[in-house]
Amino acid sequence: MGKVAVLGSLHMDVMVYAPDRPRKGETLRGSAWGLRYGGKGGNQAVQAAVHGAEVSMISRVGADDFGEKLLANLRASGVNTDAVLLDPTAGSGMSVAIVDETGDYGAVIVSGVNMQMDTTDIERAQPIIEGADVLVLQYEVPLITVAQAAQAAAQAGTKVILNAAPAYPPPDNLLPYVSILVVNEVEGEMLSGIPIADRQSAFRVAEHLAEQVPGVILTLGSEGAIITDSSGTTHLPAFSVQVVDTHGAGDAFVGALAAQLSAGVGLSAAVRYASAAAALKCAKVDVTPERMQALLAQQVT
């Protein structure tokens, strides 16, 4: 079992289900709503634990009901919360996501105490970062804090996975410390300046980004993923499942990837495993070793 540290956001997600996402000024009648534990950081930490890693979360929650629930969920999922600060200066992070009848979604986040994170969070978590095999980062907390965490991890010899989401340009002092960059099509286009219209242009995006970091994973949804590292550029097809809801699939991918890499699995095999984990998330079925093995046995082309 490898050790994974995740520095990132914790949000309580309010999920709303409707036929479609409303246009500006439009009101739609929804069919259901519910609460989910979220934030890209929290999601990825839980998913890394689901897939067998020893996980520690580095974040903040507010002194409110959402904060209590977020901490309880992490602990129930087997995630260490010693480096999650209870911050009374603002509310816990939250989001509202509207899921349409195809399973696609759009969301709005209110970051709260997540945007209060700073150097003190990294100092508090320094032993955790130094003791981890992998540090996972995203962009839902201040980018200067993300960059500082990447530097601290790189100096300690900890592998850094950056999921560059939401799509923001990275600070200049971040990418030199990143081992593996994970982006989707929107993020890949933004970072590279190259539009993705087909498989060939997607390859160009991945190869362009690989000029800045040792490893790049460009996820393409139902079209699979492209991997670029020192051994070259390859395409891995997606697994076939009945899609119910794509919400959280990207975080399932990153969490499973981190768990595999922390255990010493090679990049290509780790991406294939992570793709299977994301597929199960889209199908909205629980992850079990049997389901993972069944998907991984598929001969996808």
**pLDDT, tens digit, 9 for 90 and up, residues 180-213:** 999 999 999 999 999 999 999 999 999 999 999 9
Confirm whether 105 is domain-assigned. Answer: no
Residue 220 corresponds to which tokens in the numbers above?
């393409």
Choosing from 82, 87, 251, 286, the catalytic residue is 251
Confirm whether 29 is domain-assigned. Answer: no
Let me know the angle formed at the C-alpha of 34 by 29 and 38, rounded to the nearest 5 degrees: 125
Domain region containing 276 = 3-9+39-90+115-296
Query: Which residues, listed in sequence order, are joined to residue 235 by a DSSP beta bridge?
Result: 226
Confirm whether 16 is domain-assigned. Answer: no
Confirm whether 104 is domain-assigned. Answer: no
CB 224 within 8 A of CB 203: no
Low-confidence ranges of the chain (pLDDT < 50): none
Domain count, the chain: 1
pLDDT at 172: 87
pTM, rounded to two decimals: 0.90
- CATH code of the domain covering residue 181: 3.40.1190.20
**Rounded distance between C-alpha atoms, residue 112 and residue 288, angstroms:** 34
**Rounded distance between C-alpha atoms, residue 241 and residue 258, angstroms:** 23
**Rounded distance between C-alpha atoms, residue 249 and residue 56, angstroms:** 21
Active site residue 100: no
pLDDT at 283: 87
Confirm whether 100 is domain-assigned. Answer: no
